[in-house]
Chain A
Amino acid sequence: MTEYRHIGKVRRRQDGRAIVTGKAVYCDDIKFKNAYVAKVLHSPYPHAEIVSIDTSAAEALSGVKGVMTYKNAPAWKTGVPAHRPVMDQHLRFTGDPVAAVAAVSAQIAEEALELIKVEYKVLTPVFDVEDAIKPGAPEVYRKEDNIESKGFHYENNCLPPGSWFEGNDPPFYKIQEGDVAKGFAESDVVVEGKVSYTWTFPGAPESPFIAAGWDDETHVSVWASSQGPNMVARPLAATIGAHINVTTPNVGGSYGNKDALGYTAMLIVALAKTAGCTVKYAMTKEEHLLVYERRLNNKFMGKIGITKDGMMRALQGDWLVGTGAGSELTQGQVAEGLGELHLALNKTPNWDITAKVVVSNMIPVGIARGFGGQELKACALHLLNRALKQIDMDPVTFFKKNFCQAGDQYYWRTGHKYSNPVINYDKCFDVAAEKFGWHEKWKGWGVPTRMEGSKAYGVGFSIHSSGDPQSDETFAYVRLENDQVMVHCVVSQFGNGQRLALAKTAAEILNVPLENVTLNESDTRTDPADFGAAGSRETITAGGAVGRAAMAAKEKLLEEAAAKLGCKAKELDTKDLVVFKKDDPSVSLPWMAICPMYYSITGQGMVEGDFNHNNCVMNFVEVEVDLETGLAKIVNALSGSDVGQIISPIELKMQFEGGLGSAGMDTGQLEEFVLDTNIGRIVTHNLIDYKWRPFNELPNFETSVLESRFPTANPFGAIGIGEITGAAGPAAVLMAIENAIGGAEINEYPATPDKILKVLGKA
């Protein structure tokens, strides 16, 4: 294996010193000139109509610059397909914005909110996905809202399914192939059931932030706490018919969840327009929990057939996807979720699974890591356990047989099939299982690994794979000026270590110390287009584009040096900012002589996206369940993958560990929103009541990482895994819990003490 100078080596993050000294700048640390503070009045009811609203006293309050309600808000809509207006007379969830105020200070804005008089007509809400699709259920959107897309009509609270961003492809929301009736007939074991996965809070410590100001009629400047600035800029620009420039300083955590910020950005850009000023909106943590985009909830009702030797024969089911009062990209999650199930159970010949995207009077759904597949697989694969129990086959053995291998085809988000000819994760199963001690710990279905007093231990396993790691076009350029390498790519700092990886990539290719590389701040004004961080894609896409841009810059540098040295470029190489002749290094030129003071050499790089590179993460867990209290804890976890080539070892390890939190693995036993159905409001709307993992509750955590050098567009053969490190976690945790407690079945996530005691007959 090639020895690299930077790649695979431990390097300090370039922004590390700023982070540990408190100097790193996050959105709310910026002083925006002449900016007014935005505050929002939220609906107190889950479903209501505004009978009357009087904002005159608020408008008259000194220091108030503008008040926006449904009466004066621009007629824009966000979501897929466009459905959620800036503001509406019809209020669809507890927290739905009723009015927004821009004022000179937060205090005055809050005072103004209190002066707004609203008379509401309370309507009957609907929360549960199954209730919402019944005929006669309360209508979250109505005929007059005119939601229609590509021939699909909104009815019975079902939004048009499928993703809409794939050109002329029909929406992808179902897999129907083969003959499931025949598949079930050929099966030795057929199981049926319903499993539901709860709604959760990805939970970035920094609450969502948007500041916006209109530079002129057609240009808007936006500052966003976003992992994907172009996801903020492009869809909204298309909606409102103006050009949007987005700057993203440091982002205080995202986990996929602070990406497009679609509705929030639209609301604040609208307020900036109606109030005629720059406004900044820093959500409070309570708002973040109460009204901001959360992870989808879902139910899977299905039927699975397998043979005695552990081969999938048929899968049939309805996937009810709860998107609350709105969908930012839920249809994309449906498409990718189906693809992820298809990757995991790839050897299934007969499929009939259909998704419904269901609206209700709950908080709208946004983007979150795991993106559909985590949620669907948590349910469908849990149902599968019932079948594996009957044939007495352990899940590692089963998935190794049924998981997508090199050359197999899998569905991805367009509804077409893709395939990678090379990447195989077979070896990963064995190496990771060995390191975890799976075969010693696995005692059979419903059999605890061991008992210690009232504590029962059990193990579980699951797997996740995504077709996104090389998705979508990506552009970058690299400038060489004097002794500096300047990298332009629109990659935000939100914790995944990607900016370090990109700096290393440029430094490696140009063979310079890391200190000579500067990454431009993530800004759509100065960085070329890219869809942004999502689906673990930047390792390949941004890495590939930056790598190619660095190579192109290097070529030009060598050509210009060759002209000066009177030789051919191919006779030259560069190291530590000096170009030299390969066969006679004494013939050399420093970069300063090639690109002196005011001279610039620019290389461009591009990666064309495809879906033919699937990544994979396996989660092994051991849980401890206190049979007296019902409390389940993860005590051991191991995450395994083959990442092609390690770029940054510590950051990679931390990405795996990060799969525990941010509504990942811990949604198996710990995390959930609790809804008070009487008032339609969640009661876990602060960081005391919403449960999260603290420092004194850490499981032993290990990783098992192979490096196979995959033929990806990453210059070093790497593939990204960051998004999916916890995605298979909840299924593994619930499996482990059932094994620990002797096989009693739990079909609702998370397995909190009340549910465990109930199935044990103790509550």
Chain B
Amino acid sequence: MSRDLTLKINGQTYEFTIGRRLGQIPESETLLETLRERIGLTGSKMSCGQGACGCCAVLMDGKAVASCITLTAECEGKEIITIEGLGDPVTGELDPIQEAFLEHNAFQCGFCTPGIIIAVKSLLNGNPNPSEDEIKEALSGNYCRCISHYQVIEAVKSVLKGGKTE
């Protein structure tokens, strides 16, 4: 048995079928695998594979989810935004959060950075004016082994000051 699946990713529509045949998406495939291996969106990173590190975070209907433990088959009708889709697709202008991360050099190896930016976006979508504690709490599931935390917090605070995020 196979069924159709329509995914909306970064504003584009992708049509797949769920099934066991060649080219179909098996029920067990994670959203992270679909993004990285089928669509070529490799900005979301695989690290823990268990929902513990945030490296694979994407926005689903505006909220950050761990794509490594999300099944693609369950994403029908969801609006998915990955790190590649945060900026303006027409002008190439970056999201203010990305701009702030650049401004503050808020990364070292950068492997955790896409996930952290997505987590910040998710936070600000729900709470445009978080306190420093709320920022830290919202990022508490993001693993950053390089300890870029301090610059990340500076970057996020600067976005709030700039009032650029709606």
Contact = CB atoms under 8 A, between A and B. Distances in A.
Interface stretch (B72-80, B142-150, B158-166): B142-150
A20 B98 contact: yes
A687 B150 contact: no
A19 B107 contact: yes
Contact of B105 (A12, A203, A282, A697): A12
A753 B151 CA distance: 30
B140 to A, nearest CB: 4
A650 B108 CA distance: 10
A204 B109 contact: yes
B109 A205 contact: yes
Nearest to B106: A20
Contacts of A10: 105
B61 interface: no
Nearest to B102: A16
Nearest to A13: B105
A29 interface: yes
Contact of B114 (A22, A653, A697): A22
Q: Please classify how large the interface on chain A is, using the bins under 10, 10 to 19, 20 to 34, 35 or more.
A: 35 or more
Nearest to A31: B40
B26 to A, nearest CB: 8
Contacts of A495: 107-110, 146
Contacts of B45: 26, 205-206, 252
A661 B149 CA distance: 11
A658 B82 contact: no
B47 interface: yes
A36 to B, nearest CB: 15
B83 A203 contact: no
A687 B147 contact: no
A287 B42 CA distance: 21
B113 A686 contact: no
B71 interface: no
A657 interface: yes
A411 interface: no
A695 B139 CA distance: 6
Interface in A149-193: none
**Max chain A C-beta neighbours (<10 A), residue from B45, B47, B94, B109:** B109
Interface in A318-343: none
B27 interface: no
Contacts of A650: 104-105, 151
Contacts of A284: 49
Interface string B94-119: 10001001111101111111100100
A100 B164 CA distance: 52
Interface string A342-355: 00000000000000
A365 to B, nearest CB: 19
Nearest to B86: A21
Contacts of B147: 654, 657-662, 693
Contacts of B47: 205-207, 252, 285, 687
A651 B105 contact: yes
Nearest to B139: A695
B53 interface: yes
Nearest to B114: A22
A686 B142 contact: no
A636 B140 CA distance: 19
B41 interface: yes
A715 interface: no
Contacts of B83: 20-22
- B140, B143, B151: which has the most chain A beta carbons within 10 Å? B143
B8 interface: no
A650 B106 CA distance: 9
A570 interface: no
Interface string B108-145: 11111110010000000000000001011101111111
Contacts of A196: none
Interface-centre pick from B44, B135, B150 (highest chain A CB count, 10 A): B150
Given A12-B105, A687-B47, A687-B48, A19 B110 contact: yes
A17 to B, nearest CB: 7
A207 B143 CA distance: 13
A21 B98 contact: yes
A701 B154 CA distance: 13
Given A20-B98, A654-B148, A687 B113 contact: no
B140 A695 contact: yes
Contacts of A693: 147
A696 interface: yes
A254 B111 CA distance: 11
Given A21-B94, A651-B105, A662-B145, A205 B42 contact: no
B60 interface: no
A26 B105 contact: no
B87 interface: yes
A494 interface: yes
B145 A253 contact: yes
B149 A22 contact: no
B66 to A, nearest CB: 12
B82 A253 contact: no
Given A686-B50, A688-B50, A694 B140 contact: yes
A28 interface: yes
A26 B111 contact: yes
Interface string A1-35: 00000000010110111011111111011000000
Nearest to B103: A12
12 contacts: A12-B105, A16-B102, A17-B102, A19-B110, A25-B42, A202-B145, A204-B145, A285-B49, A495-B110, A650-B105, A657-B147, A686-B50
Given A20-B94, A686-B48, 14 more contacts: A12-B102, A16-B102, A16-B107, A19-B113, A21-B84, A21-B87, A205-B145, A252-B109, A255-B145, A282-B46, A654-B108, A687-B143, A688-B52, A695-B144
Interface of B: 36, 41-50, 52-53, 55, 82-84, 86-87, 94, 98, 101-105, 107-114, 117, 133, 135-137, 139-153
